Structure 1
Amino acid sequence: MSPPGSTAEYDEEALKELIAGELGAARNRSFGLTTDALADADLTAQVSPLMSPFVWDLAHIGNYEELWLLRGAAGIEPMRPEIDGLYDAFEHPRAERPSLPLLPPDEARSYIATVRAKVLDSLSSVRFDPGNPLTSGGFVYGMVVQHEHMHDETMLATHQLRKGAPALLDPPPEPVASRPSGADEVLIEAGPFQMGTSDDPWAYDNERPVHLVDVPAYYIDVEPVTNAAYTAFIEAGGYDEPRWWTPAGWEWRNSSGKRAPAFWTREDGRWLRRRFGRTEPVPPGEAVQHVCWYEADAYARWAGKRLPTEAEWEKAARWDPAVQHSRRYPWGEVYEEGRANLGQRSLRPSEAGDYASGASAYGVRRLIGDVWEWTSSDFHGYPGFRSFPYKEYSEVFFGPEYKVLRGGSWATHPLAVRGSFRNWDYPIRRQIFSGFRCARSAGEAA
């Protein structure tokens, strides 16, 4: 089923059927990344201090579900209150989690299965009260489903960091009938547009409320930057020229020793990459991924451009100038399979020109899916922002320390991304499935 566009699309029973199905689909995906793919010893190991052991993510998913759907929506007494602190993401940094008395794999599986059974049993008696923002439109259930898919993407990043033999099947890239050609960038006219949302029932607090933003005219790339284009930056000495880097970026470059995207190596005159335990030549046409904000910003400067602001990205993705309205997705209001590389259809970004049917009203392609796209903007709340249902989802991260990413990646589930969805991370992060596209102000030479 596709995500609900508005509560009016479903009566209460149909919405409950949707929720039960999506809860099941998310759990199947979680098991496919953990217990179906790895031995218990691999579930309890920590592959990097940047990431949790898989078994922590698995039990955390169940604990979050218990907190919000059993104790919260259904009013059921706590099952395991003594483990709440172990699985509180703010109480223990990822690097410390292996030293905690975590539930072993069998106990974690049993716990999350019991939680899920009780959630499904209680769903029939829960009322989606329009006057209660937590349950209206099934919001809290949508929040839990999206949370699980977000952790599935996090676990995919952990899989990418794993050493050793591949643990995941690698579907071949989907065949593409034709790849459209045309201009490399498009002009987005000056003027206001509707940014954010106020009526999407499963949108997060940081996507709200809808508000007008007046944006000067600018050009934006039709496609994300490819591996071939980024290779040209490397081979032109882009990592060795301070003028392309911000002071903080140059400090990161010097202290990190990085001279290429994460997981790339140079052998016998060609670039190779490690992808989920497989070593292969870097595909030139794919969107570059595993680059941090500093690298994206340096490339844009080298190319005579810049990173788009968050507002520029969203206008290019959502605004339909013909009807003066922001779409939910670049192509329209309803999610349609085959218009974006989402949901782990393959374990890689697609090639330039793919998914042309997912283009926005301006003809900008692959804005949803493939790679999270860095923007130049710091993460902050919109005018009129109200924290809901807890400050730790968004508000505690507001500030210049975090940069905004938009659009989702190939690893993002369709339920967990839409044109208004906002992600954020430190500018040094590279283990995430992040890439970028460039922009420039109208009147500036390319």
Structure 2
Amino acid sequence: MSDFKERIASELLAVRSRSLTYTEAEDDLLVRQHSPLMSPLVWDLAHVGNYEELWVLREAGGLTPLRPEIDDIYDAFKTPRKDRPSLPILGPAEARRYIEGVRGRVLDVLDAVDFDDPAPLRRDGFVFGLVIQHEHQHDETMLATLQLSKEPGLVRDGRLPPARPGGPAEVYVPAGPFLMGTDTQPWAYDNERPAHRVDLPAYWIDRLPVGNGAYAAFIEDGGYHDPRWWTGEGWEWRQRQGVFAPLFWTKDGGAWHRTRFGRTEPVPMDEPVQHVSWYEADAYARWAGRRLPTEAEWEKACGWDAGAGRARKYPWGDHEPTLELANLGHRAARPAPLGAYPAGAGPYGTEQMIGDVWEWTGTWFDGYPGFRSFPYREYSEVFFGRDHRVLRGGSWAADPAAIRTTFRNWDHPIRRQIFTGFRCARDAEPA
């Protein structure tokens, strides 16, 4: 087996280990629905195996289906999450046997496949990148479900670098064109393609994500009770839902606390705020006299190397993330303190743009000029329009294999259970 195939096999092993770790729990917890926003954990576990069977075994490998009778059960577009507990889903033991059987055959296909095959699914191992990234995304979803379960002791924590106080609050990005998206990353999704020129005026963008301390100041200043800072839709949502702080925050004795994976603790004021909706992020930005960056502004600030005339895969360059560069891959079950990764700074001086929290942008999710769906419309195209806002950067729960400067995430502006935060931007003054 070639070195590249060995690396793919290693990535397959690593992501499966993650999935099994997050489902090492009593059967009752796995089959229970902890929120109508999420599937039962055991649905996610079998779904990643069914997705792998569909794309690697059937589409790329041309093999006979193993369990065609469960396809509709694990089709994410057939049944909304809130209704999935009513489906005849596989139990925990059967789900584990099923995904193990699929994986054994996937490794056989990997051993035999020709990466020089002109078929797009097989060329450069795209189909394996597809399923590896897909499973990592579901692992992050599992972590969000475990947070909503409020059960303690299920999710490991870890150590992170300390905060680094000081430094400029914002950085300047000069006017000029840059190349947005990619034509060169072999495992990039259809919505990241094609690369295209975007010309932006000059702007300022926060060096760091907005922290809990700054967000608490917005709350204390009455930000949740002043409609001036909210869009009409956002104000209506805030009133209807009775929202007064980020999800999982409570006030006790004059101090803010949060519940994190079943344990209540003081809110660390030097961490990026997380579990805020787009409406909350937008309201904060207005209160601060700023705005959310557009998606293009975010990407340029993250990885455009103007001197080299090219985009970097990550803010710091093209080499893979390390423990000194970014908080990814569930190193700890929380964002790192602000300023913890100076070595991971981007070409303009922004920090912590990869890892820690997904960052809301001011842009609706849509296709780039020349967009073409591949390998199926339901991954991206069906979500285009004015229902989903773009998120960038990846959270502490995202794996390095599924994150890069061009990677695009999206969700409804009301979503808060995901590990979301933001940073602000503003127009530069005319010269």
Q: Same fold (TM over 0.5)?
A: yes
Q: 2:35 aligns with which of 48, 71, 75?
A: 48
CA distance in structure 2 between the aligned counterparts of 1:336 and 1:235, rounded to whole angstroms: 37
Q: Encode CA deviations 1:372-429: one digit per residue, 9 max, x unaligned.
A: 0000000000001000000000000000110000000000000111000000000000
1:405 and 2:391 correspond: yes
1:168 and 2:129 correspond: no
Q: 2:10 aligns with which of 3, 14, 21?
A: 21
Q: Encode CA deviations 1:347-379: one digit per residue, 9 max, x unaligned.
A: 000111111111001010000000000000000
Amino acid at match of 2:357: V
Q: Encode CA deviations 1:102-152: one digit per residue, 9 max, x unaligned.
A: 111111110000000111122211111342211111011001000000000
1:270 and 2:255 correspond: yes
Q: 2:58 aligns with which of 41, 58, 71?
A: 71
Q: Which moved more, 1:160-169 or 1:214-223?
A: 160-169
Aligned residues: 429
1:180, 1:356 within 8 Å by CA — same for their partners in 2?
no
CA distance in structure 1 between the aligned counterparts of 2:164 and 2:418, rounded to whole angstroms: 27
Q: Encode CA deviations 1:84-119: one digit per residue, 9 max, x unaligned.
A: 000000000001100111111111110000000111
Task: Classify the secondary structure of the residue corresponding to 1:361.
Answer: coil
1:291 and 2:280 correspond: no
Amino acid at match of 1:32: T
2:157, 2:331 within 8 Å by CA — same for their partners in 1?
no
CA distance in structure 2 between the aligned counterparts of 1:321 and 1:85, rounded to whole angstroms: 48
Q: Which runs of 5+ in 1 are unaligned?
A: 1-11
Q: 1:388 aligns with which of 374, 381, 386?
A: 374
Q: State the percentage of identical aligned residues.
A: 62
1:190 and 2:179 correspond: no
Amino acid at match of 2:211: T
1:355 and 2:341 correspond: yes
Task: Classify the secondary structure of the residue corresponding to 2:378.
Answer: coil
Report the counterpart of residue 135 of structure 2 in structure 1.
148
Report the counterpart of residue 31 of structure 1 in structure 2.
20
CA distance in structure 2 between the aligned counterparts of 1:317 and 1:130, rounded to whole angstroms: 34
Task: Classify the secondary structure of the residue corresponding to 2:379.
Answer: coil
Q: 1:127 aligns with which of 114, 123, 138?
A: 114
Amino acid at match of 2:365: F
CA distance in structure 1 between the aligned counterparts of 2:247 and 2:100, rounded to whole angstroms: 36
Q: 1:105 aligns with which of 92, 98, 101?
A: 92
Q: 1:346 aligns with which of 332, 338, 354?
A: 332
Q: 1:321 aligns with which of 302, 306, 309?
A: 306
CA distance in structure 2 between the aligned counterparts of 1:262 and 1:113, rounded to whole angstroms: 36
1:20 is displaced (CA, Å) by: 0.6
Q: Encode CA deviations 1:222-244: one digit per residue, 9 max, x unaligned.
A: 00000000000000000011110
CA distance in structure 1 between the aligned counterparts of 2:195 and 2:376, rounded to whole angstroms: 20
1:320 is displaced (CA, Å) by: 1.0
Report the counterpart of residue 288 of structure 2 in structure 1.
303
1:169 is displaced (CA, Å) by: 2.1
Amino acid at match of 1:388: F
Amino acid at match of 1:326: A
TM-score normalised by the chain length of structure 1: 0.95
Task: Classify the secondary structure of the residue corresponding to 1:350.
Answer: coil
Q: Which of structure 1's runs of 4+ aligned residues deviate more than 4 A?
A: none
CA distance in structure 2 between the aligned counterparts of 1:324 and 1:175, rounded to whole angstroms: 32
1:431 and 2:417 correspond: yes
TM-score normalised by the chain length of structure 2: 0.98
Q: Encode CA deviations 1:165-209: one digit per residue, 9 max, x unaligned.
A: 3312222x3234x72632100110001001000010000000001
Q: Which moved more, 1:288-297 or 1:325-334?
A: 325-334
CA distance in structure 2 between the aligned counterparts of 1:137 and 1:129, rounded to whole angstroms: 7
Report the counterpart of residue 223 of structure 1 in structure 2.
208
CA distance in structure 2 between the aligned counterparts of 1:136 and 1:300, rounded to whole angstroms: 44
Q: 1:246 aligns with which of 231, 236, 252?
A: 231
1:163 is displaced (CA, Å) by: 2.6
RMSD, aligned α-carbons: 1.1
CA distance in structure 2 between the aligned counterparts of 1:442 and 1:130, rounded to whole angstroms: 49
Report the counterpart of residue 281 of structure 1 in structure 2.
266
